[in-house]
Amino acid sequence: MSLQRWTERSGSGPAAIAVAGSAADPDVAQALLDRAVEAWGGVDALIVCAGTAEPQGSSILNITSDEFNALIDAHLRTTFEACRVVAPHLVERGGGAIVTTSSHAFTGTYGGTGYPAGKGAVTSLTYALAAELAEHRIRVNAVCPGATTRLSTGDEYLEHIEALHARGLLDDATRHGSLDPGPPEFVAQLYAYLASDLAEGVTGEVFAGAGGYLGRFPRPEAEFLTWRDHHANPPWTLEEIADLLGSR
């Protein structure tokens, strides 16, 4: 349902209700759906936009198991629990839309541990849910946002970006974009589009939105390298693999 249609049906402008707690908690996720159904009679779209920053200077060399698990909960488990609760509801209603929140960090380019791992898992879950729920007319897409928020302001954030740039993990263009993110209204429009009827037929995609920039991540595919019949040939030797992969 489009925002305009919802507004016309309800006779009022957009409204919001709140449920305290983390959506990683199954009871909180269920309460979110219950409150929405109570207030509006049903849910047409789910947007999962929750997360937290990785501790400054975090790496596989110093992060604790508890810190890693907290990051996975904040990014992956919130997405899973919300989708687990809402997807059956959307099936009953004959379709709908789910929009998850990933990050450019899922590529691993910027280092880190729990943050890119959590966002990478969200990306994979988005692809999987899009395939699984297509027969139910449920579209599932992800957004990798860039915007001015409390996670992208302050001295610690600036120091973190400069440290990544100094280590060679951010190029000059990415550093500049990270230090000057656009207002959230720009990327909010992308979320709204994907949740609306205008995005009919768009599913299984990962988009980037930041300021005046919109992009789309290609779906990963294996590059063909070589083949041999395993019925008629032995396994490759290490030297053969080195010849094939060593120059790549």
Residues 119 and 103: beta-carbon distance below 8 Å: yes
Of the candidates 110, 115, 127, 191, the residue annotated as catalytic is 115
Phi/psi of residue 144, each to 5°? -105, 100
Helix (H) or strand (E) holding 209: strand 206-210
**For residues 151 and 51, what is the distance between their CA atoms, to the nearest angstrom?**
10
Q: Is 115 a catalytic residue?
A: yes
**Count of CB atoms within 10 A of residue 62's CB?**
10
Helices 114-133 and 78-92, axial angle in degrees (round to 10): 10
| Residue 56 one-letter amino acid | Q
**For residues 155 and 151, what is the distance between their CA atoms, to the nearest angstrom?**
11
Active site residues: 115
